[in-house]
Amino acid sequence: MQRREFVLSALGAAVAGTLLPTVLRAERPLRILVLGGTRFLGPHMAEYALARGHTLTFFNRGKTNPGVLPSVERIQGDRNGQLDGLKGRKWDAVIDNSGYVPRHVRLSAELLKESVPHYLFISTVSVYASFAAANDEDSPVGKLADPTVEKVDGETYGPLKALSESAAREVYGPAATTILRPGLIVGPDDNTDRFTYWPARAARGGEFAAPGRPADPIQIVDVRDLAAFAIRCVEQRTAGVFNALSPVGRFTIGDVVDESVQAARQVVKPQPPPSAVWLPAEFLAAQSVAPWSDMPVWAPSVGEEAGFALTSAARATKAGLTIRPMAETVTDTLRWHLQRPEAERQKLKAGLPPEREAAVLAAWKAAAKPG
């Protein structure tokens, strides 16, 4: 048995009916094709779908986590034109988790249109042209000067996802297309370390740098809540465009930091215990501590980022997206983080490295000293 499956079944056996919610079987079992599926969101979707009684197929190159969920059928291929393995097969729905350029999305949508009646595309809130004000699903999306570009980077990611959405909708038509635009996806198995930084940092104990004010708003979506919403959309053939993230005003950076401290104190009990030192946005800027990358999940809601945490989740909430409590997301992320390989735990991909954080805290204390 794979480690992931063992952990899941052991956890399930240990806490069934207590911590883990019971997933009810769907009324009608479906055959679901997932393009991608083996990294972060994909396995969580698959686990939820399997618990609902559905049958899954993963389509990918066989490079990323080849051992994950070995009981799920694999079709090997490449979105860049090697789709033959999908021909002559029928599914009830396709979930496109791995579409980053419109040409790839169009290729798969055109090939599957006659044999799969519903296309769900995982997009992103990064499609929006600006975050200077609040966005909803009708806000303008970013545009590329050259729409044929296929290099995915910080500049092109959002506009390419917007073009990919259009490709899916043009081929399938709006009534058979679902576009989910997640905000920051967080929780167990997150390979970016952005949200994970906070519980991991609290678990090291001692004073640590926290950004801005505790009341600063943030938005996230727990990968398991997003996975369940996506599968429900497939089951109910919910078509349309949905921002998929926590409602405006639900969470603050103070929630993330406070729950991280609580979880660390309960699970790890580090000495000295963790305690946050809140550093104003202006001080962080003067220290060249960058929002989002050095202080993940957070950005000051001013200027070009004034709408950073104001993306409407009302439509998805009405359609059934539920958001679990912050404490649950933080604690489960910490428990997952603690069983990662040592090398991954030692070198996180986001957040302030320990030496830099020590220098920033020292500068704060020096600045606070009278005289």
Footprint of ligand NAP on this chain (CB under 6 A)?
36-42, 60-64, 78-80, 97-98, 122, 124, 182, 184-185, 192
Question: What is the smallest separation between the CB atom of 156 and ligand NAP, expressed in angstroms?
Answer: 12
* Nearer CB in complex with ligand NAP: 253/261: 253
* Nearer CB in complex with ligand NAP: 52/161: 161
Question: What is the smallest separation between the CB atom of 293 and ligand NAP, expressed in angstroms?
Answer: 13
CA-angle at 354, arms to 348 and 355, nearest 5° = 130
* Nearer CB in complex with ligand NAP: 105/202: 105
Question: What is the smallest separation between the CB atom of 213 and ligand NAP, expressed in angstroms?
Answer: 24
List the one residue out of 143, 328, 91 whose CA is nearest residue 225.
Answer: 328
Question: What is the smallest separation between the CB atom of 120 and ligand NAP, expressed in angstroms?
Answer: 11
Residues 6 or more apart from 208 whose CB is under 8 A from it? 201, 202, 274, 275, 276, 277, 357, 361
Hey, what amino acid is at 351? G
List the one residue out of 98, 71, 67 whose CA is nearest residue 83.
Answer: 98
Residues 165 and 300: beta-carbon distance below 8 Å: no
Helix count (H) and strand count (E) of the chain? 12, 13
* Nearer CB in complex with ligand NAP: 18/71: 71
What is the DSSP pairing of strand 185-186 with strand 221-222? parallel
> What are φ and ψ of residue 208, in 5° steps?
-140, 155
What is the DSSP pairing of strand 217-218 with strand 251-252? antiparallel
Question: What is the smallest separation between the CB atom of 195 and ligand NAP, expressed in angstroms?
Answer: 9
* Nearer CB in complex with ligand NAP: 43/205: 43
Q: How far lies 283's CA from each of 60, 215, 276, 367, 368, in Å?
A: 45, 17, 16, 10, 11
Question: What is the smallest separation between the CB atom of 105 and ligand NAP, expressed in angstroms?
Answer: 10
d(C-alpha 148, C-alpha 65), whole Å: 30
* Nearer CB in complex with ligand NAP: 98/238: 98
Hey, what amino acid is at 192? T
Residue whose entry in the numeric block shows the structure tokens 């997003």: 226
Question: What is the smallest separation between the CB atom of 64 and ligand NAP, expressed in angstroms?
Answer: 3
Question: What is the smallest separation between the CB atom of 31 and ligand NAP, expressed in angstroms?
Answer: 18
Question: What is the smallest separation between the CB atom of 125 and ligand NAP, expressed in angstroms?
Answer: 7
* Nearer CB in complex with ligand NAP: 131/283: 131
* Nearer CB in complex with ligand NAP: 244/276: 244
d(C-alpha 82, C-alpha 188), whole Å: 31
Residues 6 or more apart from 17 whose CB is under 8 A from it? none
Q: Which two tokens stand for residue 142?
A: 């970013």
* Nearer CB in complex with ligand NAP: 9/80: 80
Element (H, E) at 121: strand 119-122
